[in-house]
Chains A and B, each alone.
Chain A
Amino acid sequence: MRRRTQRKALKVNTDLKLMPLMNIIIALIPMLLLSAVFLEVKVIETSLPRDADASAAAAQPATPPLDLAVHVRANVYVVEGHGIDALLVPRRPGAPAPDSVATLQLAQALRNITAAHPDTHDVRIVAEAHTRYQEVIALMDVARAAGLVNAALEGAAPETAGGI
């Protein structure tokens, strides 16, 4: 009888005590969720057209540079460059970004140009004063997808001065 009582007294509970850990994790998760940044901010590196580019162009190499540009006009996007025919893509006036048809046509046109001129990586996006920023970014995306990774921003003629 006495031996049985001793055996009962020596029985040890081997379960892990998880409550303190649970408390820490329950406090940690809301804190992390509140301070987390779920929006991924990325950057597009760009520049203004350089005067040095103009002087390099003035050196007159054997083949003149393509000087590819996408102009944003009231109702149309104009893709033009030296030695290529100007291509017009309809634009919906006042739209914050090119519609899907215009995007496809522009992408196709720029891909054809980069296929014909594989060394071309530069393009100028020539926007009008009232062009929305989102539209400029969308055009840069289309150009980048076609392999034109160096996009420079330029203002259309009436507002331009001092290289921009």
Chain B
Amino acid sequence: MRRRRSRSSGLMEKYTSDGGLTLTSMMDILTTLLFFVLKSYVSGGEVTVPPPGVTLPRSSVNADMHTSVVVAIDHDSIILGGERVATVHDAVASDELMIAPLAQRLTEARQQMDDLDDKKGVKRETARLATIQGDADIEFRVLQKVMYTLDRNGFPDIALAVLKKA
């Protein structure tokens, strides 16, 4: 009798858990997810988000973005460094290729960059890079005028921002 009782109490001990959750498998899932999310972060080049209202065109190109002056063009405005400097309507209405308000702001930006280079004690760059974030639907004449204005105001190297095709 005593032997039977001791055997049954041993089985009870073996099959009875303490009621805690088994978290190891969930930890595995979460750890994998964490690594995936960390890996999907952009680790190289410049990270940029187009301003609201700008849908970048899609392209198969694979070159990373570099730090530069950014000019965004949406349906209404031409934006330099996040600040609206001219309207598309005015730019299109003018017969001139140069967009005067944009040219003025670019000259100021260029001057600031040169001053910064002087303070750092490095040689001034003769040609600076500018990136255009244009909406896919804008007309070429607007892009043409922005590119011309950039070129004539010390930013002859121009990069066109696009979304990579899947």
Q: Which of B100-108, B114-122, B129-137 contacts A (4 or more CB under 8 A)?
A: B129-137
Which of B58, B141, B151 meets A155, CB within 8 Å? B141
Q: Mark B88-99, 1 if CB is under 8 A from A, else 0.
A: 000000000100
Contact B159 A45 (CB under 8 A): yes
Known contacts A37-B47, A37-B49, A137-B57, A129 near B140 by CB under 8 Å: yes
Q: Mark B57-84, 1 if CB is under 8 A from A, else 0.
A: 1111111111000000000000000000
Main secondary structure, interface of A, reads mixed
Contact A155 B160 (CB under 8 A): no
A41-55 residues at the B interface, CB under 8 angstroms:
41-48
Chain B min CB distance to A29 (Å): 6
Q: Which of A20-28, A62-70, A85-93, A116-124 contacts B (4 or more CB under 8 A)?
A: A20-28
Contact B144 A36 (CB under 8 A): no
Which residue of the partner chain A has the closest CB to B134?
A: A133
Contact B136 A134 (CB under 8 A): yes
Contact B37 A29 (CB under 8 A): yes
Which residue of the partner chain B has the closest CB to A137?
A: B57
Chain B min CB distance to A101 (Å): 18
Using a CB–CB distance below 8 Å, which chain A residues touch chain B?
Answer: 15, 18-19, 21-22, 25-26, 28-29, 32-33, 36-48, 96, 127-134, 136-138, 140-141, 144-145, 153, 155, 159, 161-162, 164
Instruction: Rank and list the top 6 A-B pairs by shortest CB-CB distance, nearest first.
Output: A43-B159, A129-B141, A134-B136, A40-B164, A127-B140, A131-B140
